Amino acid sequence: MKRLFIWLLWFVVIVGTCVAADQLLMRYSLDVPAYRAAQIFYQDFRSRIILLAQKDDLHLDGMKADWSPTLPAAMLEKIEPLLQRDVEPEGYVYIDKAGGLHLTTRLDEVPKEYRSAAKALKK
């Protein structure tokens, strides 16, 4: 009986702490930058979870094939340079007639007879 009481007590303490943290982040504003950032994140996260729970169709069958997430314009400006499609490979690898493996940084360093078989190394 004592063990059950201890488990029950810890359950109440943990749930009470979670409820207190929830109410603190939802209702009270402090002028501390880290707290404000955590509060904004938590409120957004909580609203998304609640909206997700209210949806009727939670299956992937209802998702459109061409769906893509929408990002804020400020975030897109920062991400766009990272999404370049024509990125040069890090280097090339080829195998010579003797079976030796060679690594180079540029395609023009690969001998002409092996260029067609040279593989680009990706990041």
pTM for this model (two decimals): 0.40
Q: What are phi and psi of 91, to 5 degrees?
A: 175, -170
In a domain? residue 45: yes
**Domains identified in the chain, total number:** 2
CA quadruple 36, 37, 42, 47: dihedral, nearest 10: 90
Q: Mind listing the pLDDT tens digit for each residue in 11-33?
A: 999 999 999 999 988 888 888 88
In a domain? residue 11: yes
Count the Cβ atoms, other than its own, within 10 Å of residue 121.
13
Of 97, 84, 20, which is closest to residue 28 (Cα–Cα)? 20
In a domain? residue 77: no
Residue 104, domain extent: 91-121
Q: Mind listing the pLDDT tens digit for each residue in 61-107?
A: 555 555 566 667 777 677 776 666 665 667 888 888 888 888 888 88
Q: Which of 40, 60, 80 is the last residue of a domain?
A: 60
